[in-house]
Structures are given as C-alpha cells and as structure tokens.
Structure 1
Amino acid sequence: MELTTFWFILIAVLWAGYFLLEGFDFGVGILLPVLGRDDRSRRLAINTIGPVWDGNEVWLIVAGGATFAAFPEWYATLFSGFFLPLLLILVALIVRGVAFEYRHKRESARWKQGWDLCIFWGSLVPAILWGVAFGNIVRGVPIDAQHEYVGGFVNLLNPYALLGGLTTLALFTLHGAVFLALKTDGPMRAEAGRLATRLALAAVPIAAGFLAWTAITDPDDWGIALSVLAALTLLASVQLTRIRREGWAFTATAATIVLAVAALFTTLFPNVMPSTLDPANSLTVLNASSTPYTLKVMTWVAVLFTPLVLLYQAWTYWVFRKRLKLSDIPA
C-alpha cells in the first residue's frame, strides 16, 4: 500500500473515531434542556461524559495535525476556504469546555443555567457544522488551478451540505440519547430510551436521504455497500433501544456513524477535495501529500504511539463504566 493511501485511511479512521466518541458528547449536551428537568438531573447527564469528553476531543486535534503533516495542500485549502465555519466550531468547543469547568463554581441557579445554555449551544453548533463541512468536502467546492478556494461562505450553504448538517445533528443526538440510556439508571434511563426511539423516527429518513444522495451523485460500489450497512445498523439500534438492550443499541449507533464516515471517505478517494470548477484542479492524495520521507517518519511515529493512546482511552472508559443514578448526585 502506498503511504499516501495509508495516511488517507488513517485520517478517515481518526475522523470516524472523533465522530463516534464526540458524537455522544454533543448529543448529551443537545439533550440537556430536554432530559435535565432540574439541576440534579442536568448534573447527572453531565457526569456521564465528565471523565471522557476532553479525551474525546484529542481525536480532533490528532486528525487536524495528521492532515497538516500528511496532506499540507489539503489542510491549507480546507482551513482557508472553510475559515468561518471552522472558527465557529472552534469557538463553540471552547465555550462548551469552559462551561463544563465553570458551571459548578457558584451555587447560583442563574449562573448554572447560563453555563448549561453554553453547553447546549456549544454542542449544537459543531454537530451541525461538521456535517456541513464534510458535505462540502465530498460534494466539491470551487478550487482554481493554484488549489485555492475561490468561493464564499454562501457557497458552503448548498442543499447537499445542509442535509449533511441535519444528518450529523440527528445521528449525534440519537447517539447521545442511547448513551444516556446506557450510562444512567432509574427515571433518566427510561426517559432517554423513549426519547431515542422518537429521535430515530427523524434520524433514519434524514441519514438515509443523505447517503442515498451521495450514492446517486457519485456512485461507488464500496461507498454504496457501506451506506447500506450504515442504514441497517441504524434500524437495528431502534429495535434494540425498544427492548432496552442499551449496550447493543449503542454499538449499533456507533457502527452507523463509523460506516457513514467510511462511506464518505470511500466515495471521496482518491480525491481529498474535489473542484467543481475543473476536475483537473482537484486535490488528490498524490498532489496534496507531503514528501515520501515525511510520510515514512510519520508512519513510524503512528505505529509506535497510536496503540498506546488507544489502550489508555480504553482503560479510561473501563474505569468509568458504571451506571449513574440520581442518588449518586448529592442535593
């Protein structure tokens, strides 16, 4: 396998891991006003992701760093052309992280409600904009012969990309509801399970529509197969949630997200950023990559350190695997 292909696959894995793990974080934040009827229930919801949310964001940092090092042309065009949406995502993530740390600093109800609102918006905005960004990456954007993005912000708000934003919003919210049903016990577990079933009624047609549009616009045998598998696992999660098999339901929603990301990257390959002006202007794994020596050094670093990171994060989830209930939250 060529190193350029290897790093394209690795970056796809990093983004899939980020959406899988940060996805339920976003979902919990979005559902905070719905399932958090009082301060104790909101604290219960936040505590389910408290030990892991910052570790989940490491996947984003690594994905961005890997893109910068392996495909600098892709990184430069992406971050210059998508500057405003990526800035909004960054600001939302910062506000959300500060809210997690500051909401308990004072006992004032108004103080906590303000930070809870920051958690909600700090989860909602990235959940939508990540889908918009990746929708544009797969669909293609206006790139000139110098590999510069020559469109504006309005170009990014096309119907396909907006449907991508709705898809990530629906999937992440459903993923968060299933996670809360898995990680809590008592009334919140039951309520999160019922809510997940209702959310699936919206998530299934939205996600199916987006994946079908992708398959029709840019047909790829492997991409279509992965999209079908993603649809099947999403339907399985609905049934598993109904019978209160939360562990398997969470596995199914996780598989849906990973398979959907895999379908998008499979459809995209060998491009990393298609041009809608002229296919010759498209960025590919070859013309956007670093030198072979750089990729070789990076590969050795990834082989040595990636397993250690995965083992540490797996150990973290194992330590905090216990279900939480309201009695665990002091008044």
Structure 2
Amino acid sequence: MATFLGIDLPTWWFAVIGAVFTGYAILDGFDLGAGAIHLLFKKEESRRIALNAIGPVWDGNEVWLVIGGGALFAGFPEVYATLLSAFYIPFMLFLMVLILRAIAIEFRSKETMLWWRQLWDIVYSISSMMIAFLLGVVLGNLIQGIPIDENFEYQGDFVQLLNPYALLTGLTTLASCTMHGSIYLVMKTEKRLYTKLSIMVSDTSRFFVVCYILQTMVTLVYFPNMSATFKAHPTLFAVPLITVLIIINTRILLEKGKYMLAFMSSAFTMASLLVTVAMNLFPKIIHSTINPAYSITIYNGASSEKSLSIILLFAAIGVPIVATYTFFVFWTFKGKVKLDESSY
C-alpha cells in the first residue's frame, strides 16, 4: 500500500476529513450557538447586534461542511453512500433547517413589521438548535454503531436512530455550541448586552459541563468499547485527560472575564472531544452492530490508491487557501459590532 511520510493514504484521508469536520464544528459551532440563544434577547437592538456578530462569517463557516462532504465522497465513497442512506431522514431535515436558517438571516431585516421580524427570529433560533442537535444525533449513532449488513446497507429504521444515547449526544452537542456561541457574542458586544452575555456564558458553560459529565458516564457504562483504544495504548489516555483540563480551564477563564482565551479554550474543547471519538473509532468509520466484520473501515471503504493520492494533493492545496480566507475574514471584521445602514 502506498504511503506518504510513512503513513498509508487511507489513514491520511481519515485525518484530513476529521480535521475538516473539526474545523466546521468549531467555526459553525459558535454561530449555531449564537442562533440557539437568540430568542433570549428581548430587545430589537440586541437581536440585531447578535445577528450582525455572525453576519460576515456564518456563510463562510458553512463552506467547511461542503468541503467535508466532498472529501468524504472522494475519499470514502462507501461511507458516504451508507451514511446518506442510513441517515436519509435526518439529513433531509438537516438540509431543510439549514436552508431555513439562511433564509431567516437574510429575510429578517427586509421588512420593518414586528411580526415579520419575530417570525424569522423564531425560525432562525429553532433551525440553529436543530442543526446542532441533528449533527449530534448522527455522531451519537456513529459512536455506538448502526445495523449494516455485509453489503454496507442499513437494516434499521428512522426510529432506531432516535435512541436515548443519540439524543443525549445531540443535547451535548447543542450545549457545546451554545457555550461556544455565547462566548463569541460576549467578545463582539458591549454595554448592557455585554453584561447580559457575561452572565449567560456562565450558565451555558455550566449546562455543557453537566451534559459532558452525563455523556461520559453513559458512554463508559454502556459502550466500554469506546475506551478500548486507551486500554490498549495507555499513553493515549492523555487526550481525554487534556480534554477535562481544557474544560476546567474554560470555566476558569470565563470567571476571570478573559473571553478571548475562553473562546480559544472552548474551540480546543470541541476539537479534543472529536479527536477522542476518532481515536476510538479508528480504523473503523461505521461500526456494524449486526456483525463487527460488516463494519466499514478506512481500508474497505476507501477509494483507489490513485484516487486518494490525487485528491490528497488537491486537499493539500485547497484547504490552506480556504483556511487563509477564513482567517482574513475574521481579521477584517474583528472588534465590537457597530450597527449601521448596511447591518441586518
């Protein structure tokens, strides 16, 4: 098997796709979180400021989702096909609320009527929550595995996907996004809204910590296979340990009012959680609950070596360009939000 820097190509692609989806979780996570708490702002000016805080970046953040989906299709077509067939209804709901969220952001300020703006505020907030929650449901099912047969075909139904563990993972994902989003908003606001958000970030971070502890306990009790990697390689236990320390650090930074550092710490929290999941799944991507032999791994679900090598080259060129553009946009629109005639 062909390698690059001593690592085989399927492993490289597993890492690349994981990095791209992690980037999406961090970047779109904070504007989804900002949308989730949007209805908690009662004043029109506060809602406009919160909306304009994500205004320049929300659509660019979603580019990472497109890149991740394209990379998954190119690198692991069997995984792509199985995921889309197994999670057909959740993905259709996901696309629907993704479209509704974009419409709500763009349409809200087109008219001045109170009922019009309140309608789109509700659509925006609910769709933001649904996106984060549905992504968590998909992740929860991947962690515990789904019933796929020897042909990689899903043998369950939609109701099976809404199992308690998947719903808990969806709630934890939503909690992570609300913490991440509230920290971002407190960095972008001032005066009374800043004061309100200073209290809110403390509440959202506590909510996340509770969800994280519950998620960890349930995972260790009901899915001991998720700790198998750490048992086989004890040194890797450093990753979940670092995750716990980062979460504690985030809470400390919030209490001290160091919001920029807290935002970075929150981003590292999301990244380390996803890395922990990836480490325990590897080399599997989709675990079969019917028979482990039917699972899709990075090897039996990958494209040909030639395809992987070609698209890896494209990824090496394209991903840094998108990352540079993303950094440029954030740098350009840094600082507190100021409303003007061009604002939402």
TM-based fold match above 0.5: yes
SS of the counterpart of 1:125? helix
Please tell me whether residue 7 in structure 1 is matched to residue 13 in structure 2.
yes
Instruction: Look up the match of 2:123.
Output: 118
Q: Normalised by the size of structure 1, how large is the TM-score?
A: 0.96
Query: Which residue of 96, 105, 125 corresponds with 2:101?
Result: 96
Structure 2 distance, partners of 1:103, 1:114, is: 8
- What 5-or-longer segments of structure 1 have no aligned partner? none
Return the offset for 1:214: 3.6
Please tell me whether residue 208 in structure 1 is matched to residue 221 in structure 2.
no
For structure 1, which segment, 160-169 or 41-50, has the greater mean C-alpha deviation from structure 2 after superposition?
160-169
Amino acid aligned to 1:10:
V
SS of the counterpart of 2:174? helix
Instruction: Look up the match of 1:317.
Output: 330
For structure 1, which segment, 155-164 or 60-69, has the greater mean C-alpha deviation from structure 2 after superposition?
155-164
Instruction: Look up the match of 2:279.
Output: 266
Instruction: Look up the match of 2:245.
Output: 232
Q: Normalised by the size of structure 2, how large is the TM-score?
A: 0.92
Structure 2 distance, partners of 1:293, 1:116, is: 48
Instruction: Look up the match of 1:41.
Output: 46
Return the offset for 1:208: 2.6
For structure 1, which segment, 20-29 or 204-213, has the greater mean C-alpha deviation from structure 2 after superposition?
204-213
Instruction: Look up the match of 1:218.
Output: 226
Q: Percent identity?
A: 37
Structure 2 distance, partners of 1:13, 1:145, is: 29
Structure 2 distance, partners of 1:211, 1:268, is: 16
Counterparts in 2 of 1:329 and 1:181: CA distance versus 1, 3 Å: farther
Instruction: Look up the match of 2:55.
Output: 50
Instruction: Look up the match of 1:150.
Output: 155
Number of residues paired by the alignment?
A: 330
- What 5-or-longer segments of structure 2 have no aligned partner? 1-6
Structure 2 distance, partners of 1:230, 1:105, is: 43
Instruction: Look up the match of 1:175.
Output: 180
Return the offset for 1:138: 1.6
Structure 1 distance, partners of 2:342, 2:283, is: 50
Contact 2:52 2:343 in 1 (8 A): no
Return the offset for 1:327: 8.9
Deviations 1:55-76 (A, max 9, x none): 0000111111110110000000
SS of the counterpart of 2:109? coil
Query: Which residue of 254, 258, 267 corresponds with 1:245?
Result: 258
Counterparts in 2 of 1:237 and 1:326: CA distance versus 1, 3 Å: farther
Structure 2 distance, partners of 1:116, 1:328, is: 20
Return the offset for 1:111: 0.7
Return the offset for 1:289: 0.4
SS of the counterpart of 1:272? strand
Amino acid aligned to 1:178:
I
Instruction: Look up the match of 1:298.
Output: 311
Cα RMSD over matched residues?
1.8
Return the offset for 1:328: 9.6
Amino acid aligned to 1:200:
S
Return the offset for 1:189: 1.5
SS of the counterpart of 1:286? coil
